[in-house]
Amino acid sequence: MVYLDNNATTPLRDEVKKSYINALNIWGNPSSIHAKGQQAKSKVDEARRNVANLFNVRSEQIIFTSGGSEANALALRGVMEASDDRRLVISPIEHPSVYKMAKAMEEENICIVSELLVNSSGVVNIGSLEAFLKKNDVALVSVMYANNETGVIQPIGKISDLCLQYGVALHVDAVQVAGKIPLDFIKLNVDLLSVSFHKMGGPKGAGALIVNPKISMKAVQIGGGQERNRRAGTENVPAIIAAGTTANEVASKMDEEYKHITNLHNLLEVGLKDISTDITIVAEKSNRIATTTCFITKNLNAETALMALDIAGICVSSGSACSSGKVEPSYVLTSCGYTKEQALSALRISIAKQNTQEDINYFLNEFRKIK
């Protein structure tokens, strides 16, 4: 089988798998003061230090969550509920865990949501951000680092400079870049950063929200005092331990892995363009993360292509979402100005460190047959 859907999830790294299996023996509750509890607490603390090192923050800045969606929910709800300002600014191409959450919060009367303008690659228009910031009622800006469907990278430096200038908090969903390219929280100058470990060879059930200590936020999940009263609930100890191992692994291998991914990315995109002029790579000329290639093909139905590729043993993804039996075009692509038909032809190939040249060549050969 050729797995090229790594933006959905990645296989466990070998070291992480070992660590995860061993961690199943650490079954104490980290909140218990007896030895069994303290054994678990010390392992969670160690994992927290490893994760903090990866992002150049202090351990106290890490809030472990169940994954990226929960980290995003906590950032949005936590900050908006603690602020007197009512405006939440997002881009129209955010992951649903930000986009739909923002809309749900607006319906609950927690905030007013404003959407930034984006260009035909989905890159945020900085002028439209400044126009909102000038309104003086913005509590939070939330813009993703790289888009999960197209790989397009946002100008986070410029966005953070502007937010700093207007004294507004900035949340960045970095789920698709964490563990792939270096992310230094201090240098990025952001206030909240969401990451998810199953996207970088780590376990499912572990993510983190990294928080600037200056930011006021309310807990969303209330109960015990875990995670410094910011996220109640007994910690997912084995997943957190495995997340710590993941952080160590990616810290030492990231550069080498990203070079390998970039080589495969180039092979893929040259090969796709060679197949037919009917193929257009989305945002080809924009700054993108090398893991991700989204392309549209004239007169292709992505769902049918997906099934044909699946039969050939290839796992990829389409941009569309299936809701109540009806296939909906990707709102990310329609926000970039693609037509419904173009969006319904979009396929996403996402590469990770375990992929090989043979994987890419096999995909290209099979796609040539069905195109």
Ligand X SMILES: Cc1ncc(COP(=O)(O)O)c(C=O)c1O
Q: What residues line the site for ligand X (CB under 6 A)?
A: 7, 67-69, 72, 95, 97, 144, 148, 173, 175-176, 196, 198, 207
The C-alpha atoms of residue 197 and residue 208 are separated, in whole angstroms, by: 8
Tokens 């043993």 belong to 313
The C-alpha atoms of residue 204 and residue 336 are separated, in whole angstroms, by: 31
Phi, psi of 267 (to 5 degrees): -60, -45
Minimum separation from the CB atom of position 148 to ligand X (A): 3
Minimum separation from the CB atom of position 299 to ligand X (A): 29
Taking the least distance from each CB to ligand X, the nearer of 175 and 217 is 175
The C-alpha atoms of residue 348 and residue 292 are separated, in whole angstroms, by: 7
Tokens 């790594």 belong to 6
Tokens 């509590």 belong to 139
Taking the least distance from each CB to ligand X, the nearer of 129 and 152 is 152
The C-alpha atoms of residue 201 and residue 16 are separated, in whole angstroms, by: 8
Minimum separation from the CB atom of position 168 to ligand X (A): 21
Look up 322 and say whether it is catalytic: yes
Minimum separation from the CB atom of position 10 to ligand X (A): 11
Taking the least distance from each CB to ligand X, the nearer of 61 and 69 is 69
Contact in structure between 322 and 328 (CB atoms under 8 Å): yes
Taking the least distance from each CB to ligand X, the nearer of 28 and 72 is 72
Minimum separation from the CB atom of position 145 to ligand X (A): 8
Taking the least distance from each CB to ligand X, the nearer of 3 and 367 is 3
What 133-137 contacts at long range (C-beta under 8 Å, 24+ apart), as own/partner pairs, is: 133/89, 133/162, 133/163, 133/165, 133/166, 133/168, 134/166, 135/87, 137/85, 137/86, 137/87, 137/112
For residue 339, what are the contacts with CB-CB under 8 A and spacing of at least 6? none
DSSP string, 151-213: -BBP-HHHHHHHHHHHT-EEEEE-TTTTTTS---HHHHT-SEEEEEGGGTT--TT-EEEEE-T
Minimum separation from the CB atom of position 354 to ligand X (A): 18
Report which residue's Cβ sits closest to ligand X: 68
Give the active site residue among 163, 294, 315, 322: 322
Taking the least distance from each CB to ligand X, the nearer of 28 and 355 is 355
By annotation, the residues acting in catalysis are 322
